[in-house]
Chain A
Amino acid sequence: MQPYPNPNYFMQYQQPQYQQPNPYMQRMEQLQQFQQTLQAPVQNQQMPTIGKIVESIDIVKVTDIPMDGNMYYFPKADGTEIYTKQFGMDGKTRILTFKPVLEDEPNNLPLEGKNYQICLSDEATEAFMKQFEELKERLDGIEKSMTKSMSKTTKSTAKKEVSEDE
């Protein structure tokens, strides 16, 4: 008895000739392609060219920058503004000012140190004014009662004096 009656027994269980789609390999290839696309834009991106930190825009105006057409950034020392300077096609420089915008209220600019003010809502203001009015009325009442009592005591002392003299 032959151990392997079928001479093609071994052949039958071999891998078929055609390539079966391997989902794992396909996924790896896709990931590699995706990584390559990610790398390309990163290489094209340029790091921003920082000029220097300045105290005011006047310093930006007198600072020379290279004529390479790149935009140069000049952050203000107090962090409230960023100036950029760039040569245009006509040979003139252009200075732009960037100011931060608050997330909650896009129309508001950051408060400047010296002009800082506390603002209350109308309701809060009205409540405070009411309290002030009440306090004022009470004080007026106290003042009136005090003046009345003062005048009474002066009258009574004057009467006493008159009766003693008699």
Chain B
Amino acid sequence: MNNLMQMFGAIKNPQQFLQQAMNNSQIMKNPMAKNALEMYQQGNIEGVKNLAENLCKEKHTTVDEVKSNILSQFGM
């Protein structure tokens, strides 16, 4: 539930969400998360997309599957 609320907050105010994430030491310790945030901050959406695709490959799934899973949780 908390994660969903955080997601809603991120969608509503991405800059604030980004700032909070950058201040979170746990997130910044993770090199992958740190890289993703930095790329997003720099506007490198292609890089973030590639990272997401690579992660999905490692988890033996696809971006579309993950997206449909999330949407199904909202009844869409």
Bound-state CA distance A88–B29 (Å) is 13
Bound-state CA distance A69–B35 (Å) is 11
CB of A106 within 8 Å of the partner chain = no
Q: Which residue of A lies closest to B34 (CB)?
A: A89
Chain A nearest CB, measured from B52 CB (Å): 7
Q: Which 7 A-B pairs have the closest CB atoms?
A: A91-B54, A89-B35, A91-B51, A91-B55, A69-B31, A92-B54, A69-B30
Bound-state CA distance A82–B53 (Å) is 28
Bound-state CA distance A114–B41 (Å) is 55
Total inter-chain residue pairs, C-beta < 8 Å:
35
Query: Which B1-52 residues have a C-beta within 8 angstroms of A?
Result: 29-32, 34-35, 50-52
Q: Which residue of B lies closest to A70 (CB)?
A: B30
Chain B residues near A (Cβ < 8 Å):
29-32, 34-35, 50-55, 57-59
Query: Which A42-71 residues have a C-beta within 8 angstroms of B?
Result: 64, 67-69
Secondary structure call for the B interface: helix
Are B54 and A68 in touch, CB under 8 angstroms?
Answer: no
Bound-state CA distance A15–B63 (Å) is 81
Inter-chain contacts of B57 with A (CB < 8 A):
92
Q: A89-B35, A90-B35 are in contact. Are A67 and B54 (CB under 8 A)?
A: no
Besides A69-B30, A69-B31, A92-B57, 18 other A-B contacts (C-beta < 8 A): A64-B59, A67-B30, A67-B55, A69-B29, A69-B32, A87-B32, A88-B31, A89-B31, A89-B32, A89-B34, A90-B54, A91-B50, A91-B54, A91-B55, A91-B58, A92-B54, A92-B58, A93-B58
Q: Which residue of B lies closest to A93 (CB)?
A: B58
Q: Count the A residues whose beta carbon is within 8 Å of the partner chain — how many?
A: 11
Are A90 and B50 in touch, CB under 8 angstroms?
Answer: yes
Chain B nearest CB, measured from A72 CB (Å): 13
Inter-chain contacts of A64 with B (CB < 8 A):
58-59
Chain B nearest CB, measured from A85 CB (Å): 10
Bound-state CA distance A67–B35 (Å) is 13
Are B30 and A91 in touch, CB under 8 angstroms?
Answer: no
Are B52 and A91 in touch, CB under 8 angstroms?
Answer: yes
Q: Which residue of B lies closest to A68 (CB)?
A: B30
Bound-state CA distance A86–B71 (Å) is 30
Q: List 16 A-B contacts (CB under 8 A).
A: A64-B58, A67-B30, A67-B32, A67-B55, A68-B30, A89-B31, A89-B34, A89-B35, A90-B32, A90-B35, A90-B51, A90-B54, A91-B52, A91-B53, A91-B58, A92-B58
